[in-house]
Amino acid sequence: MNKIPRAPLILGLFGLIPFVWGAATVWIDDLAALGLQYMGPRFIGPYVQLFYGSIILSFMSGVLWGFATKATGAQAATGYTLAVLPALWAFFMSGGGPSSAGVNLIFGFLGVLLLDFAFSRWGLTPAWWMALRTLLTAIVVACLTLTVI
């Protein structure tokens, strides 16, 4: 496994806070009450996860687009096309209630991991990319699953 540089690892882990917080506020009533009192309903439970998860899927589209700029020809065209899928998925699939939206986000993040793998196999990502993305995706999917169940 390639060593993940410190800055992306730390920033990636901090980026998990809304997912972890959302799951925690679903399972721990006192945290939910605290969050509701100080931040409002949008920042607890599935709502913070769904809103933030949609943003992160869109962010990942931008990251993949950046990787596609390293490709040429047909591979670049394929990369650009694949790069827009996470943002479109978030846009079309994050509605319909917290449970179905949560399940759809789980599939969206797993799909992004597959795209990460493809871009990595094409040599468009840093050597450590898949180690970071696998770690972050596992935690995001676990948090969303805790909320959905």
pTM metric for this prediction: 0.93
| pLDDT confidence of residue 120 | 98
CA 10 to chain centre: 16
Which of 73, 72, 86 has its CA nearest to residue 115? 86
CA distance 9 to 121: 21
| pLDDT confidence of residue 97 | 87
| pLDDT confidence of residue 94 | 87
Taking only the tens of pLDDT, the chain with its 149 residues reads 569 999 999 999 999 999 999 999 999 999 999 999 999 998 999 999 999 999 999 999 999 999 999 999 999 999 999 999 999 999 999 888 889 999 999 999 999 999 999 999 999 999 999 999 999 999 999 999 999 99
| Contact indicator for 85, 115 with CB cutoff of 8 Å | yes
| Contact indicator for 75, 122 with CB cutoff of 8 Å | yes
